Amino acid sequence: MDAAAGAHHEIAVPASIFAMLRQELAKEAGVLPAIHALQQSGYVAGMAAASAFRTSQDEDVRALPEEEFWARLGSFFTRRGWGTLRHVDRHQAVGLLVSSDWVEGDSARVEGDGPETEEGASCSFSTGFLSGLLTELAGGPVAVLEVSCRARGEERCSFAFGAAAAIHHIYGQLLEGAELDGALAAL
């Protein structure tokens, strides 16, 4: 087997690819299949990116103190043009990653004058990407749910993460109209 065949390769593409993919997939397959396809693609890409994150560190990332791990992960995303990402400790069972400049949230805004947003827009690829990356780094499943999105006119993109049961509970609570703090308190 060729040594390059198993190598990890990365390319850079314009951030506008997110909006274009979401719009074209939704047009061809429908909104929910588009979201699913973007999340699944993101998940696979995130799993591969975990290798790049690990090799960019001088030590085993699992051995890092929690605060140092999150700082390095945030720096990893910033260096790659995703935006600033920081960890917020909100609940013992669920973590929160937040960004006020997340690039997929920017790319989902409708172009033109004013702060218009695309109906149903979200950071679907990023949600899958974060899940794949965190799953690979943790060595076990990590579910991710976007709980706020700049593409929908909110102040920041926020991703809740944790065990699938906890994330499903939060999702159900949010669907019933609860605020995030209320959903976390009900865990």
Domain boundaries, the chain: 12-185
Are 75 and 56 in contact by the 8 Å Cβ rule? The answer is: no
Residue 174 vs residues 6, 26, 34, 139, 146: alpha-carbon distances, Å = 41, 24, 21, 28, 11
Q: Copy the structure tokens of residue 90.
A: 């909100």
pLDDT tens, residue by residue, 87-126: 998 888 899 999 999 999 986 544 443 444 555 678 999 9
Mean per-residue pLDDT for 138-149?
Answer: 96
Domain boundaries 12-185, CATH class: alpha beta
Residue 46, pLDDT score: 96
- pTM, entire model: 0.89
pLDDT tens, residue by residue, 9-55: 788 888 888 888 888 999 999 999 999 999 999 999 999 999 999 98
